[in-house]
Structure 1
Amino acid sequence: MKKVKLILSILGGLLVLFLITTLLNTFTLKTLQPVSNTHQSSINKDNAIQNLSKAITFKTISYQDRSKFDFTEFDRFISFLKESYPLVHDELELEMVNKYALVFKWKGTDSSKLPIGLTSHYDVVPILEGTENKWEHGPFTGQVVAGKIWGRGTLDDKVGVIGILEAAENLLKEDYKPERDLYFMFGFDEEIGGDEGASEIVRELDSRGVKFEYVLDEGGAIVENMVPGVSRPVGVVGISEKGSATAELSIEGSGGHSSQPKNETNIGRIARAIARLEETQFPADLKGAGEKLFDFVAPEMSFGMKYVFANKMIFEPVIEKILLQQPASAALIRTTIAPTIFQAGEQYNALPEKATAIINLRLLPGDSLDDVKNFIVKTIDDQDIKVTVTGNEASGVSSVKSWHFKSIQQSAKNVYPDAVIAPYLMFAGSDARHYDSIAKNTYRFLPVQLTSEDLSRMHGTNEHISIVNYLKAIEFYMEIMKESNQK
């Protein structure tokens, strides 16, 4: 009986120690948010609205088939920029790279400092055939209705191009002079990979020995109701982007008449392989850029969630289980598998001699193409299925401790004082990855506040931006230009 009491006493003491330690971790968790410094805006609102509205009317569409590009629209857009931003064109150096990529250089007063790069793109995705009539306002009309600007590119990403130029034009009117050089770099084929736009800009600048302190591109945004346990808007700044790869699974064998099928057909074996991959999934691991997000938002969470994340070394399995419940949060902590194409057969009564499946994979930083292939081969466990994996691995992970990140965070906080500004892992691709080789750090942030519905409109029907959001984007770019020059 004494032994039982002793054991219970020890267990009770350990439980008390556990509670004291975990509660102490929770209550001593300090915010990582800077204090907001709001400033009075000097933006000519009517002019700014008119310029974005006009910019939308140019059909600068990127097609996978590059022969479909209508470069007269790109020429017209470039002419429009010259007319709309006279001070930028008078005071800054403009270079055209590969004819249509634009590089503006704003020379600073201190040539010993490395420059800052702000980049966006002015190409847009096509309108899906058959959806034209579903738009409330024409996709290339740039109409201003009910406090919103409508059209393709209002969110992705003419708002970035016009926002940067509006910010620069306003600062020039104020006779602002930066200390370090500022580069504004605008690609024209980001939507199909940026190989002739951003990639060529990097090649040209690299040949001249130009290196950047950091480059800021589009990417994350101010999002609502998307981070568990946080009721306030969260501004997510991409510090890395996942790799994008294509896995092809194929099998060949005898076909034959469908009246005499084998127990295992080519279609059946490929289908089974996909089912095994979906059932198994890549292992989840809260690490790297995904973990950094929760380091920054944990202090701002409700008590229950804060308790869990303040003690993540203990509760990591619980956290991972929570995150795996939603596709968006699951993608933060694992390489994802998305079967997108299945090809087999030509006739209803003939067994196909070949079956092929295409799987899109988004790779976590640290997962190599070889790792992915080995995982697939081991999981499907079918020696007759040929597996090939091509694509690119994740970008490098940029620092959250550098003054680069802190400048972005401070600028965002100045414009969105109620938001929590945090790093995150970007799922989609951007031009930022091209700049990794010539910048100490690359970041991804579109300074607008978005709902889940807004995100679905980016490449979809009825893309639009509120005037308030657009004007805040301009304010952010003014802030970041000034903030980065204080370092």
Structure 2
Amino acid sequence: MDDDVAVERLRALIRVPTVSRDDSDMQDAAAFARFPQVLAELYPRIHTTLELEHLDGPGLLYRWRGRTTGDALILMAHWDVVPADEEGWTHEPFGAALTVTAEGERRVWGRGAIDDKGALAGILEAVDDLLAAGFVPENDVYLSFGGDEEVQGSAAERAVEVVHGRGVAVDFVLDEGGAVVQGQFPGVSEPTAVIGIAEKGIATIELRASEPGGHAAHPPRSGVTATTRLAHAIQRVSQPTPAVLPPTAYPMFAALASRARGSLGLAYRHPRLFRPVLLRALAAGSDEANALIRTTRVVTRLRGAAADNVLPEVATASVNMRIVVGSTLDAEVERIRRDIDDPRIAVRVVRGSDPGPVAPAEGRPWQRLVDALAVSHPEAVAVPYAMLGATDGRHFTRLTPAVYRFTPFELTKAELAGLHAIDESIRVDAYLRGIRFYRALLEGA
């Protein structure tokens, strides 16, 4: 593999502004139409050898025929990205700038560098490299690339329907997810490769307050308006939910126990005995560690009056909720109602789903991930955990419970902070090591 060519192909993909929006009429339709064409131009060997289907959604489903059809491997990524306002960016978000520091560190900047065109390009580079070497997988390999993941679209569901309809036996699925990180877990200083064996449920909840409207010049003497009633509900719903140890915590602790120092190492080895200690440690750790042990609720949108001088008759808030593994959507909605404790606040589920099944953190599929990691990141320990965000992978649990969420890039806290924010970027060395992971994984297919 030519490293420089691999980097240039990633940059070319970032330059196509495939920004997903809730209102599809606001999308750049030409960019979405151009992206598959760019893939074909950049990777002609893949498009000559693999079978490609364009799915509604939009989605791209490649099939790499193996020597046998059973126990197929499915690798996933998405090629749509979230919006990026140029204000505040060090480099243009779709310029795909390549910078080099005085120390020689190369970095590619742009929306999608990590989430998720980096993974998509990494998969394709590994496949292309193996094709050039004449490699034929033992079992079929499918590449499922969705173009509407960021808006929870239907491309992934359509891919599942196609694969399921053909009766394909699936060994396991790998989608985006955790990364190789450092300092995320209390008591562990070495790098950890956090691999999602499940993901939290996701829901959008609407809080709705209704009060008489009128002119803002003479508000009610009580001070109670739709907005003040809603504000009180927002304060209550924004309080942390109780911390729990979900079922995914126990294999996570078992993996961490081999690397943890001091008393926390003892606690990781005996999580039931030291449950209060672990809950306090995770709650006081990083934001990500805290989110592992509870359902999170965040108000993301507010709506009120149509003008500055109007008392709104209706005020609404959108709550983004991520449901801890082991709980349910119904249980968490009921908790919201109890916490608000105001019958005049209507609570409505706009959309939502329960957490999915938990993939095994042992056995052949898990070991294949660990073996590939030993090639690309031998210094990291594989740690199973519950994915905090929602991925297209949740739809693939219909095919097999062995759905894993892992992006094989070593990422710093600053790089993680760039996801869905300004200055998303990836170090070239981290990207190239990710390609080695995908190649090692495919060689076991």
Which residue does the alignment assign to 1:296? Answer: 255
Tell me how far apart the structure 2 counterparts of residues 56 and 411 of structure 1 sit (CA, whole Å). Answer: 26
Is 1:425 paired with 2:392?
A: no
Please show how residues 23-38 of structure 1 align to structure 2 within 5 Å.
none
Q: CA shift at 1:297, angstroms? A: 0.9
Change (3 A) 1:151 1:211: same
CA contact (8 A) 1:212 1:440 kept: no
Report the TM-score when normalising by structure 1. Answer: 0.84
Is 1:145 paired with 2:115?
A: no
Which residue does the alignment assign to 1:262? Answer: 222
Is 1:449 paired with 2:410?
A: yes
CA contact (8 A) 2:72 2:141 kept: yes
Say which is worse superposed, 324-333 or 155-164, in terms of deviation. Answer: 324-333
Change (3 A) 1:375 1:447: same
Q: CA shift at 1:345, angstroms? A: 4.5
**1:219-255, CA deviations, whole angstroms, 9 ceiling, x for partnerless residues?**
1101121111111111111111111112222232335
Which residue does the alignment assign to 2:246? Answer: 287
What secondary structure is seen at the aligned counterpart in 2 of 1:240? strand
Tell me how far apart the structure 2 counterparts of residues 133 and 74 of structure 1 sit (CA, whole Å). Answer: 24
Tell me how far apart the structure 2 counterparts of residues 206 and 96 of structure 1 sit (CA, whole Å). Answer: 16
Change (3 A) 1:69 1:248: closer
Is 1:214 paired with 2:185?
A: no
What secondary structure is seen at the aligned counterpart in 2 of 1:51? helix
Please show how residues 33-432 of structure 1 align to structure 2 within 5 Å.
43-98=1-56, 100-111=58-69, 113-128=70-85, 132-146=86-100, 147-195=106-154, 197-255=155-213, 258=218, 260-262=220-222, 264-279=224-239, 281-326=240-285, 327-345=287-305, 351-390=311-350, 391-432=352-393
CA contact (8 A) 1:115 1:182 kept: yes
Tell me how far apart the structure 2 counterparts of residues 264 and 477 of structure 1 sit (CA, whole Å). Answer: 58
Say which is worse superposed, 87-96 or 214-223, in terms of deviation. Answer: 87-96
Change (3 A) 1:419 1:373: same
Q: CA shift at 1:320, angstroms? A: 0.8
Which residue does the alignment assign to 1:30? Answer: none
Flag the structure with larger Rg: 1
Q: CA shift at 1:346, angstroms? A: 5.7
Change (3 A) 1:460 1:383: closer
Which residue does the alignment assign to 2:103? Answer: none
**1:235-284, CA deviations, whole angstroms, 9 ceiling, x for partnerless residues?**
111111111112222232335674542265544433333333344x4221
Counting matched residue pairs gives 436
Please list every run of 5 or more consecutive structure 1 residues that lacks an aligned counterpart in the other structure.
1-42
* Letter matched to residue 192 of structure 1: V
**1:383-414, CA deviations, whole angstroms, 9 ceiling, x for partnerless residues?**
23222224122222111123112211221122
Change (3 A) 1:314 1:348: same
* Letter matched to residue 159 of structure 2: I
Report the TM-score when normalising by structure 2. Answer: 0.92
Change (3 A) 1:336 1:173: same
Say which is worse superposed, 95-104 or 454-463, in terms of deviation. Answer: 95-104
Tell me how far apart the structure 2 counterparts of residues 74 and 267 of structure 1 sit (CA, whole Å). Answer: 40
What secondary structure is seen at the aligned counterpart in 2 of 1:439? coil
Which residue does the alignment assign to 1:37? Answer: none
**1:150-185, CA deviations, whole angstroms, 9 ceiling, x for partnerless residues?**
222211111111111111111112111111101111
Which residue does the alignment assign to 2:439? Answer: 478
What secondary structure is seen at the aligned counterpart in 1 of 2:68? coil
Please list every run of 5 or more consecutive structure 2 residues that lacks an aligned counterpart in the other structure.
101-105
**1:33-54, CA deviations, whole angstroms, 9 ceiling, x for partnerless residues?**
xxxxxxxxxx221221221122
What secondary structure is seen at the aligned counterpart in 1 of 2:297? strand
Higher helix share: 1
Tell me how far apart the structure 2 counterparts of residues 346 and 103 of structure 1 sit (CA, whole Å). Answer: 45
Change (3 A) 1:343 1:172: closer
**1:1-30, CA deviations, whole angstroms, 9 ceiling, x for partnerless residues?**
xxxxxxxxxxxxxxxxxxxxxxxxxxxxxx
CA contact (8 A) 2:246 2:324 kept: no
**1:323-368, CA deviations, whole angstroms, 9 ceiling, x for partnerless residues?**
2224322211111121223434467776543333322211112322
Give the CA RMSD over aligned residues: 2.1
What secondary structure is seen at the aligned counterpart in 1 of 2:31? helix
* Letter matched to residue 462 of structure 1: D
Change (3 A) 1:385 1:142: closer
